[in-house]
Amino acid sequence: MGAALTPAPDKLWQSLPVPAFLIGADGRTEGVNPAGEEFINASARSLTGQPLFDRLAVDAPLEEAFARMRAGHSALFINDVEVGTGDRAPVLCNLQAAPLAGQPGTVLLLIAPREFADRLGRTQGLTKSARSAIGMADMLAHEIKNPLAGITGAAQLLAMNLGQEDQELTDLIVAETRRIVKLLEQVEQFGHMKPPERRAVNIHDVLDRARRSAELGFATHMTFAEDFDPSLPPVWADADQLVQVFLNLLKNASEAAGTRGGRIRIHTFYDLTLRLRREDGSRTLPVQVEITDDGPGIPPAILEDIFDPFVSGRENGTGLGLAVVSRIIADHEGWIGVESQPGRTTFRIALPKAPLKEG
């Protein structure tokens, strides 16, 4: 078989953000785009001429479907099917296939990991809504803080000439106004976050810093388990901001467990299947961090909005912690997602690796 076929224009084929494969009438691979190479974790040269489905496990009867598609020259769409490569667990995907014009018998197959596509779109939408909501709140915060200071002062003056029972009411006024001021200060801090100062960072050093701080403070009642891939490359990040991200996630897990305590698992691994589409092209986010707890889980009613500002599953939560996390990860050109059910909540963060030469 000759060189791998590449649809024109070549740039379109190279920049497709989802894995794409050209399959001949005999089931052998005739072309693979870069996203496909990363999905299977093999080069186009090694895949060309080989039966694709020896390397790609699809939980669907594709042979019959491909035969009907070739005979009818129609497209094929299959949603919610598990696709694996043998190197990792299968992922839920949407498949699209169609006969390739000008190449009789050749089929173009596109594989879109549904989990990532859905969440990338949702995360990008949440980031925009978060910035909009915080921008409005930031404008109001200063104006609200001034009258609150006056209310606090007036309540303290009243307390000087009141009996014990009435002083309890003024103390409540002072305490609540101070709580609101603290919340407004957090809003202002969010609205004025500095962009990350990025450099090559060892992700395990960052995670160790966050874990040690948590164990000595709010997470003394928790048990930690680490499952690290020691071969991970450095990430391109601001170490201090990432510590803030992981401390926030560890604190949420600890508070969800309550006084009974629980277990937090920190897992790192390398995965080339997640690509983030940007204006200047797609970018691979291979360094993965998962933080999993065995707490009660996030209420389903707020799960999809959990990264929005002022959304919280706790009675006295401000709803800003995960908004800050989402903002930092977005500023790092990364991705964050969450899966939750009673007894298991996992936050997954994907980050770009550091360039060979910084700058």
* DSSP letter string, 52-110: GGGT-EESS-HHHHHHHHHHHT--EEEEEEEEE-SSS--EEEEEEEEEPTTSTT-EEEE
Please state the CATH superfamily assignment of the domain spanning residues 199-351 in this structure.
Histidine kinase-like ATPase, C-terminal domain (3.30.565.10)
Per-residue pLDDT band at 8 (split at 50, 70, 90): very low
pTM value surpassing 0.85: no
Mean pLDDT of 179-205: 78
Q: What angle do CA 69, 74, 80 make, to 5 degrees?
A: 75
- Which backbone phi and psi does 170 adopt, to 5 degrees? -70, -35
List Cα–Cα distances, 223 to 37, 122, 341, in angstroms: 39, 32, 20
Per-residue pLDDT band at 77 (split at 50, 70, 90): confident
Per-residue pLDDT band at 238 (split at 50, 70, 90): very high
Q: Read out DSSP for 275-312? A: EEEETTEEEE--EEEEEEE-SS---HHHHTTTTSTT--
Mean pLDDT of 341-346: 92
Percent with pLDDT over 70 in the chain: 77
Mean residue pLDDT of the chain comes to 80
Does the pLDDT at position 101 exceed 80?
A: no
Statement: 10-114 belongs to CATH 3.40.50.2300: no
Does the pLDDT at position 106 exceed 90?
A: no
- Give the pairing of strands 262-270 and 222-227: parallel
pLDDT, one tens digit per residue, over 145-189 is 667 777 877 877 887 877 777 777 888 888 878 777 776 766 666
pLDDT at 226: 95
Domain boundaries, the chain: 10-114, 118-191, 199-351
Residue 256: name the closest of 342, 186, 325, 158 by CA: 342
State the architecture of 118-191 in CATH terms.
Orthogonal Bundle (1.10)
